[in-house]
Amino acid sequence: MTEITNSKQYDLEDRTFVFAKRVREFVKKLIKTLGNIQDSSQLIRSSGSVGANYIEANEALSRKDFFMRIKICRKEAKESRYWLKLVDTKSNVKLEVETKDLIRETTELMNIFGSILRKNE
């Protein structure tokens, strides 16, 4: 991972990157049922899209583009939360705790992106 700077921009870039990496590690631990395979695929896409769109927002050519990308970040975080709720942990306590922690992170990311949008309206 790149060196973390004091800039809030890069703190959030790092945070979204770490979130996507954590999701990938989590998915590897799930039982390979048909539902989990399909849900995990969607989860991996949406979790990575949060950070990718945040990077795009920071490189936006206009305010309108910036806000569109931030809205997409919030949407992808919300979608990640949805897929996390759908995956089947087969009542594995450790996986359930990890799921709840990842859901908490998606909620925090949604709130951060929502706050960015509200502060700049």
Please check whether residue 99 lies inside any domain of the structure: yes
pLDDT at 2 (0 to 100)? 38
Cβ atoms of 67 and 117 closer than 8 Å: yes
Please check whether residue 3 lies inside any domain of the structure: no
Distance, CA of 93 to CA of 114 (rounded, Å): 31
Per-residue pLDDT of the chain in tens (121 residues, 90 and over written 9)? 334 444 555 699 999 999 999 999 999 999 999 999 999 999 999 999 999 999 999 999 999 999 999 999 999 999 999 999 999 999 999 999 999 999 999 999 999 999 999 987 6
Cβ atoms of 69 and 57 closer than 8 Å: yes
Q: Is 8 in a helix, a strand, or coil?
A: helix
- Indicate whether this model's pTM tops 0.85: yes
Please check whether residue 1 lies inside any domain of the structure: no
Total domains present in the chain = 1
Instruction: Note down the domain range covering 111.
Output: 8-119
| CATH code for the domain of 97 | 1.20.1440.60
Distance, CA of 108 to CA of 103 (rounded, Å): 9
pLDDT at 120 (0 to 100)? 78
pLDDT at 5 (0 to 100)? 41
